[in-house]
Amino acid sequence: MVKAREIIHVDMDAFYASVEQHDHPELKGKAVLVGGDARSRGVVSAASYEARKFGVHSAMPTAQAIRRCPHAVLLPVRMDRYAEVSHTIRTIFKKYTPLVEPISLDEAFLDVTDSTNLFGCAEEIGRAIKREILEQTHLTASVGVAPNKFLAKLASDLKKPDGFVVITEQNKQQILDPLPAGKIWGVGEVTEKALKSRGIHTIGQLRTSSLEQLQSIVGNGAADLQRLARGEDDREVEPDRQCKSLSSEQTFATDISDATILLGVLLEQVEEVAQRLRQEKLKARTITLKLRYGDFRTVTRSDTLSEATNVTQTLWETAERVFHQWHARAGGPLRLLGFGVSGLAPEQAGQQMLFRDPEEEKLKRLDQVVDKIRDRYGNRAAHRGTGTTHDGPDTS
């Protein structure tokens, strides 16, 4: 008999903002925003729960957030600090299982199916992880325990912040059926509106609708939505693997259609990935944009350079051109935007030019200067301009 799967989803509460409140005790209980400057079209990356009471959320333009919550304290993103705390949290995860799938710095799936003989049932493991995170970082996490990834993630979101929810095969429909249909993966704002127009407001109504009716609304994805509505999900937890690519992606709390904001997000991602290439002494030949629409449809757009590079400006010019080509042909509101590179090779690989391009050498020197500043003062300390600034949103 196959052992039933035991999955845990851990999601840190308002992670960036909570780290700032911990590091600056005077901010405890205050509205805190982490993100870009309102004067340069900055965007909120994270909002404390005190700020969220005023309708502020990640991916909102900072200027709009300040209008809604004028007493909020705005702080720059300190990605190195958040990565440091994330490493501590991930070390706790690895104590209980090697099957850890990081989703972002503040979120991960754990498969503890084979860990229960050592550490007790999945619920006991989840509570132990939650307790250790609090003890070691002084931060709260919301934890979901369930038989699969969909239910575990849904469970972790039900009682935020500092939540703990267990969904089982026995109680799953009792929990799922009353929830809005928009709680299902793949049901974005557009799809949810279409479902409501046909009288389908809840997961329970979606589950009991005829497949033909759903197909007339959402097309080929109807069967998948009904499987999720029944709490069925057979995807495995995929632990860290040695990567043949580097990437950065952001999921937005609300769909974004403004090309200026999206380009600001993309620039941040290009800078991050380019800096990681240089840190690893690698260069890349192919760039790829990942674009997920509000209805969860996902497309990728790629381009291959004539020569592999890790120069930020070269990667950015290629990414910007690919973005504009996509936007002109199929642009629409996005719930996720990502940038990645592949075709990796050692920095010194390939034929070395006898006479170097003076312009490229100048760009490389600029990268070196920017890297030093960012390493010392954080990613917000130096930023190439496109008319926008943005930090990846923290959607916890």
Catalytic residues: 107
DSSP SS3 for 61: strand
Burial 162-181 (b: 16+ CB within 10 A, else e): ebbbbbbeeebeebbeebeb
Residue 297 CB-density burial (10 A; 0-12 exposed, 13-18 middle, 19+ buried): middle
Question: Helix, strand, or coil here: 65?
Answer: helix
Count other Cβ atoms within 10 Å, centred on residue 22.
Answer: 14
Buried b (16+ CB within 10 A) or exposed e, 220-229: ebbebbbebb
β-bridge mates for residue 108, sequence order:
10, 102
Q: Find out whether 266 and 323 touch, Cβ atoms under 8 Å.
A: yes
Please, are residues 112 and 5 in contact by the beta-carbon 8 Å criterion? no
Full 3-state SS string of 186-232: CCCHHHHHHHHHCCCCEHHHHHHCCHHHHHHHHHHHHHHHHHHHCCC
Report d(CA 152, CA 352) in Å as an integer. 51
Q: How far lies 4's CA from each of 172, 182, 233, 234, in Å?
A: 15, 27, 13, 11
Cα Dmax for the chain: 70
- DSSP 8-state symbol, 317: H
